[in-house]
Structure 1
Amino acid sequence: MRAIVDDATRHALHRPVAVFDAGIGSYAAVTLIRRLLPKQDIVYFADRASFPYGEKSRPELLGILQRTLRFLDGFSPAAVLVASNAPSVTVLDDLAGVIGPPVFGVRPPIRNALALAGERDVAVLGVRSMVESEALRAYADAEAQGRGAQVHLVDASSLVALVESGDFLFSAEKTRDIVDGFMRDLDARHPEVGVLTLSSTHLPWLRSYLDTACGHRPLLDPLEDAVAAIAPHAVPGSGMILGLVTEDERYGIEDFRRMLGRLDIILPLHAVLA
């Protein structure tokens, strides 16, 4: 891969944190990093040509992540965040040593959720392809340490669609109705749920709606743990964000720019060529 970035822009970066995913939800990680580490330079890479990660096979994900990590290593990152649950759960452990800088992922915080839930259950909210995968079920059972029956993997694709479409910004009533309906259905199927995890990077964008619909129940955002783990590796810069995007016949850079615009994000984007 090769980024179309001028030398002055590239040289302005100082040991950035690189954040990547195939969709737009990972920008929530950029927002958290900016809040916690305002001087940290960031490379934000949206690999739209590989969208969606959740529907890729294990060999495909391994190839995508190996290629992407080596590409991002060319920016001399202080750390890299794989801001997607699917590759973090299925292949990240197999990529140790591919590059020198530390690489972090985003995984459902099931142990913490169970500790908070006590005798009650936990709902892991994610996209359908992920919550129906054997990899996530195996990860959940391992993390649950004998309490796997208390962990429910719940398809939240209808909520993710609200973010991908931008409806949550422009249709507050529709968004509230869909989120409230989702929670009613969840409670009907799993009435003992006491803690929920936002295990799609899209879901934090709906936090205010989910907080209302969930009442007093805790909502755990795994991005917060990931960014906290990155913090000790931070290297202050100028707070610059470099936006990189791949495209194909399905998803173009202009389409992605419009998606960011719907989220009120104005960010210069640079093409990445295969």
Structure 2
Amino acid sequence: MLNKFFSKPVELNVGDKTLRFCSIPDFEFCLNGRTSVPSKKISEMVKLSTKKLKNEAVTIKDIEKRFVNILSRSIENPNSINQALREMDPSIFSQDHGWRGIIAALNEGGDDLNPFRRIALVKYMQYLASRQEIIKYLYSEKQSHANGATRAAEDGEEHADKLSGTYILENTLFEPVKDDKNGEFERMPKGEVISLQLPAGKNIEIRLSKHRCILSNKNGIEFIDQSGNHHPLIKGRNVIGRDAASTVKIDSSLRDISRLHLLIENIGDNKIQLTDMSSHGTFLHPSLLAQHTT
């Protein structure tokens, strides 16, 4: 996270409002409250059929892939994010929380706003992830109900053929989907840079989805994959994933690991920066996430 304070506040004109930020952390704090899904949107999603829910999930996944590529390129060339966002159709951004207006306002500025653009894209991806979780929950509940209704009909029992929208809405709001496959490990915020110190002779356990891996600094900084293979990390950018062009190529049969799953920047002096770009998550011990510096 950049802690630079500007001599003059950065102003973004969003609709009929002018938002002012004295620092990048101010901007990030403002967007943190925009990563959830508004109740009105949830109400609309509850009414969707399973087919429409599936189509929306596919659309979001395609958008996420485009954003991952933009963020990945921006690590090597920070100014590339400006042109990339300008070339995107503004309508792909939701109007929830004023997201479309925020992106449009950022596009009116120059390269000096690129750090803001990166944060906005990361936070918007987190908003999309929130939508995906609700879609998965609704789809699962509707499928389960449909299967139950079919079985009941076969048994000659009478059951309603629709799941109560209110019931789904309440469960979505108050019983969010939990992923406890990784026990005490906590999922890294998608797209955010996590900076860690890896002292010589030490290891850090990391999980790609459910697969246990190790970041080691016993013989130089290495990534030890789920099969125990050692991969020395070069200075600079390292890509971990199933893609053939990855610096560390993961077994292609592990479908829960993304093609571009994790970026590791080896910046020297026993310091590394991690950026999760995956669908199923990268997990660290909570103490590491709490102590990281950005």
Give the TM-score category using the shorter length. under 0.3
TM-score by length of 2: 0.22
TM-score by length of 1: 0.23
- Structure richer in strand, relative to its length: 2
Higher relative contact order (CA 8 A, sep 6+): 1
Greater Rg by CA: 2
- Structure richer in helix, relative to its length: 1
